[in-house]
């Protein structure tokens, strides 16, 4: 099947936005490299320094991999590859977002003081947030594929609960593209595909 002109135009727009976003990320990296070398690399190792460097270079590496796929340079035109890539993209998005949240929590703790009650509130609020994120994300992925209810439990078998996302026109475009439907079960993990 040949992609429609509208589909190809939408793909082109997606690739342009990806290129612009990655260009700005690399530009920002080079703008702040001198300050990073001066203030971060010469400072003693702390949890905050480690989180900053993981966030900075993890995002740069992850976004580069995503950009290569968006450009059609990093794919082998298989549904399996695209399913694995979608999983990587979802995990990367969540981990990069959460590393920033953790830095904000550490900063809030430093500003508000180290009171044990406040620290406990911050920790348990964050743990609750992550559990809700994991639960709703899992539900959204499973519900988006019309899987049976028992796939929400640990009794699911591989054959009847396989996540078989069909990526459109992969043999023509060499880019993993999944149609986002208008249903209410589209959750964060598949919005970024």
Q: What is the pLDDT along the chain (193 residues), one digit of tens a residue?
A: 788 888 888 888 988 998 999 999 999 999 999 999 999 999 999 888 888 898 899 989 999 998 998 888 877 778 888 878 887 887 888 888 888 888 888 887 778 777 778 778 888 888 888 888 778 777 766 665 555 555 545 455 555 555 555 777 888 888 888 766 544 444 444 444 4
| Residue given tokens 């530009």 in the structure block | 27
Q: What pLDDT digit, counting tens, does each position of 38-50 carry? A: 999 999 998 888 8
Cα separation of 40 and 26, whole Å?
A: 18
Cα separation of 49 and 180, whole Å?
A: 38
pLDDT at 184: 42
Q: Is the distance from CB of 191 to CB of 179 less than 8 angstroms? A: no
* Parent domain of 49: 5-191
Task: For residue 191, report the phi and psi dihedrals to the nearest 5 degrees.
Answer: -70, -30
pLDDT at 35: 93
pLDDT at 32: 93
pLDDT at 186: 45
Count up the domains in the chain and report the number: 1
Cα separation of 111 and 175, whole Å?
A: 45
Q: Angle 1-167-12 (CA atoms, 0-180°, nearest 5)?
A: 80
pLDDT at 190: 41
């Amino acid at each position: 099947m040949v992609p429609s002109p509208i589909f190809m135009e939408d793909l082109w727009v997606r690739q342009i936005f990806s290129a612009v976003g990655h260009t700005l990320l690399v530009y920002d990296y080079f703008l702040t490299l001198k300050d990073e070398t001066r203030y971060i690399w010469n400072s003693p190792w702390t949890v905050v320094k480690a989180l900053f460097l993981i966030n900075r270079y993890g995002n740069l590496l992850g976004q580069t991999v995503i950009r290569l796929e968006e450009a059609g340079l990093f794919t082998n035109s298989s549904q399996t590859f695209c399913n694995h890539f979608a999983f990587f993209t979802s995990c990367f998005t969540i981990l990069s977002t959460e590393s920033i949240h953790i830095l904000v929590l550490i900063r809030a703790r430093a500003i508000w003081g180290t009171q044990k009650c406040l620290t406990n509130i911050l920790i348990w609020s964050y743990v609750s947030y992550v559990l809700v994120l994991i639960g709703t994300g899992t539900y959204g992925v499973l519900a988006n594929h019309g899987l049976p209810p028992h796939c929400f439990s640990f009794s699911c078998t591989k054959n009847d609960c396989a996540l078989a996302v069909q990526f459109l026109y992969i043999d023509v475009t060499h880019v993993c593209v999944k149609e986002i439907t208008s249903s209410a079960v589209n959750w964060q993990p598949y919005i970024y595909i």
